[in-house]
Amino acid sequence: MDAETADDIAPLQVTPMQSSIKIRTQALCFYYHHKQVLHDISVQLPANKITAITGPSGSGKSTFLMILNRLWEEIAGCSISGNVTVELEGHLQDINDKALPARVLRRKVGMVFQQPNPLPMSIFKNIAFPLYLTHITNKKHVKDAVEGALRQVHIWDEVKDRLNDDGRLLSGGQQQRLCLARALVLSPEVLLLDEPTSSLDPEASAAIEELLLSLKSQCTLIMVSHYQDQIQRIADLRFEVRDGRFLCPDAGCN
Partner 1 sequence: MIRRLIEDALTVLSWAAGLLLTLALLTLAGYLLKKGGSTLGVDLIFGDTAPLDALMLRRQVFDGLFPAMIGTLLLITGSMLIAIPVGIAAGIYMAEYCSGRVKGFFSLLFDILAGVPSIVVGLAGLSLTIFLHRHFSAQISTSLLISCLSLALLVLPYLIRTTQTALESIDPLIRRTAPALGASRLQNIIRVLLPNSISEIVGGIILATGRCAEDTAVIMLTGAVASAGLPRSIFGQYEALPFYIYYISSQYTGPDELARGFGAAILLILICAGLLLIALWMQKRLTTLLLYR
Report the C-alpha gap between 2 and 112 in whole angstroms: 20
Spatial separation of the C-alpha atoms in residues 228 and 224, rounded to whole Å: 11
Q: Is 110 in the site for partner 1 (CB under 8 A)?
A: yes
**Residue nearer to partner 1 on the CB measure, 17 or 119:** 119
Q: Which of 104, 169, 248, 253 contacts partner 1 by CB under 8 A?
A: 104
By CB under 8 A, tell whether 87 contacts partner 1: no
Q: Which of 15, 36, 117, 198 binds partner 1 (CB under 8 A)?
A: 117
**Residue 125 vs 226, nearer CB to partner 1:** 125
State the nearest-atom distance from the C-beta of 114 to partner 1, in Å: 9
Report the nearest approach of partner 1 to the CB of residue 44 (Å). Answer: 24
User: Using the rule CB under 8 A, is 130 a contact of partner 1?
Assistant: yes
- Say how far apart CA 180 and CA 155 lie, in whole Å: 11
Residue 69 touches partner 1, criterion: CB under 8 A:
yes
What is the contact surface with partner 1 in residues (CB under 8 A)? 69, 71, 74, 76, 102-104, 106-107, 110-111, 113, 115, 117, 119-122, 125, 129-130, 132-134, 164, 166, 182-183, 186
